[in-house]
Amino acid sequence: MSTAPAPGSLPSTPGKIIAVHISHESRAAQRGRRPAAPSYFFKPSSSLGASGDPVERPEGTELLAFEGEIALVIGSPARSVSPAEAWRHVAWVTASNDWGLYDLRANDKGSNVRNKGRDGYTPVGPRLIDARTVDPTALRVRTWLNGELVQEGETAGLIFPFSQLIADLSQHLTLETGDLILTGTPAGASVAVPGDVVEVEVDVPGGPSSGRLTSRVVEGPGGFDPALGSLPSVDDRQREEAWGSREAAGLPAAATGPALSPELREKLLKAPVAGLSQQLRKRGLDHVSIDGVRTTRPGTKLVGVARTLRFVPYREDLFASHGGGYNAQKRVFDAVREGEVIVIEARGERGSGTLGDVLALRALARGAAGVVTDGGVRDYATVAGIDLPVFSQGPHPAVLGRRHVPWDADLTIACGGATVQPGDIVVGDDDGVVVIPPAIAEEVADAALAQETEDAWIAEQVAAGHPVDGLFPMNAEWRAKYEAAARARA
């Protein structure tokens, strides 16, 4: 290896800065997803900064997030190296802060070009630790926000050890002298605002240290031009991920608990929508039908918890800023959880598709219970062949941008004339789709099933030749006969 550089400086400007998406077990647990293999993104060398440099949050933006990380500086070229020999190609270890502006994340999530590539968004230092003097499995990274410790992670708790990251990268590209690898952040990464001071330190407890890498957040210029690219935008999901939790972001708790237990789900699978609608009407809820939609797969049943998505009417400038890239529509289909129904507000506009075969397959792969849209569906025949309940206004060949802009998600919407909130229970069959408030779902299901048993008995009497007068609905005489028959069956 070459002679160690002066403290506080890298040996040279990196040709590549490679960052790992998720590598700490604690971060995976916080995000609720554990990757099976490492994944990466590039940061430009122009994003490099030093300890003491200000970090700008552009005017008009909200979610500037810090991520304290261990940075590895490559000391000699590595190409197709094994994990056993990988560490020999690392010259130094230091602290880094992988800053990101979540307001710009929506349309380049994964690549992170704009939100993490801004000038000064990769400060490193202030000192370099000689990699030959440390055990790569015994390092620690800590982060302080305004003097309070908010992150702490050890390399013993990595999903992917450093040797694996280096070997994996080297089988695809040559790691060159001076290249920088940011190895992922532990749990606790969150949002900083102008005036905040964030410090990151990498050390071996009781041994060598990078010193504290200090960044002060300042307000920077805004003025993004919508003619050039998408504008900053945030939603509650971005806030939750940037802050680290819904609670930290000041958001209401997500619906949890027994809103749709396996037992309740089984009842709703048996209860016909017509019967559920009748019981809801008896309880004063007569505006809970999602009107105008029909299933692509007659004979299938839909039961799940609502996950909402809203489209707004097409407008050229808004579609330019929100319609492309990793937009709200794609984020919902990528994040839908098992048992959830994606409910789309399309304003009853059927002159455009609101999903097609690719998104239907993504929902199926995620374990979604189904999709309900009061708009159209592209690739209708293919979607109908996918084992996923989809209810819509019918087929249409046009793409989304003909009528809609995908706008936001996880909020109260209107679909087919019904108000739908995240966490509502959605049930559909060949008769249509109804929305059930979770608080009364059990009661409504039980009543609908009881009514179904009663209606089946009435149908037997009509089939036997009895007139419907007095039988449907039952008068006192027929009610007594029914109850007697029920006792006999019991």
At residue 276, what are phi and psi to the nearest 5 degrees?
A: -65, -40
For Cα atoms 359, 362, 363, give the angle at the middle one, nearest 5 degrees. Answer: 90
Q: 158 among the known binding-site residues?
A: no
Which residues, in sequence order, are CB contacts of 410 under 8 Å at separation 6+? 235, 236, 237, 307, 308, 332, 422
The CA distance from 230 to 324, in Å, is: 8
429 among annotated binding-site residues: no
Query: Do residues 267 and 215 both lie within one domain?
Result: no
- Is residue 315 a known part of a binding site? no
CATH number at residue 40: 3.90.850.10
Task: Show the domain range for 214.
Answer: 17-243
Residue 358 marked in a binding site: yes
- To the question of whether residue 103 is assigned a binding role by annotation, the answer is no
Residue 6 lies in a domain: no
Spatial distance between the Cα atoms of 288 and 415, rounded to a whole number of angstroms: 10
Q: In this structure, are 228 and 283 located in the same domain?
A: no
Q: Say if residue 112 is in the same domain as residue 137.
A: yes
Amino acid at 128: L
Name the range with the highest mean pLDDT among 33-37, 248-252, 356-360. 356-360
Write phi, then psi, for 212 (nearest 5 degrees).
-90, 125
Record the tokens describing residue 269, joined without a space: 């699978």
pLDDT digits (tens, 9 = 90+) for 10-20: 888 999 999 99
> Is residue 379 a known part of a binding site?
yes
The C-alpha atoms of residue 240 and residue 286 are separated, in whole angstroms, by 35
pLDDT at 255: 52
Measure the CA–CA gap between 193 and 191, rounded to whole angstroms.
Answer: 7
Residue 421 inside a domain? The answer is yes
Q: How many domains does the chain have?
A: 3
Axis crossing angle, helix 441-463 with helix 476-489, rounded to the nearest 10:
100
Lowest model confidence (mean pLDDT) among 14-18, 157-161, 322-326, 444-448: 322-326
402 in any annotated domain: yes
425 pLDDT more than 90: yes
In this predicted model, what pLDDT tens digit does every residue of 270-318 receive, in sequence order?
999 999 999 999 999 999 999 999 999 999 999 999 999 999 999 998 8
- Residue 363 domain flag: yes
pLDDT classification of 259: cutoffs 50, 70, 90? low
Give me the CATH number covering residue 387: 3.50.30.40
The predicted model gives 146-167 an average pLDDT of 93
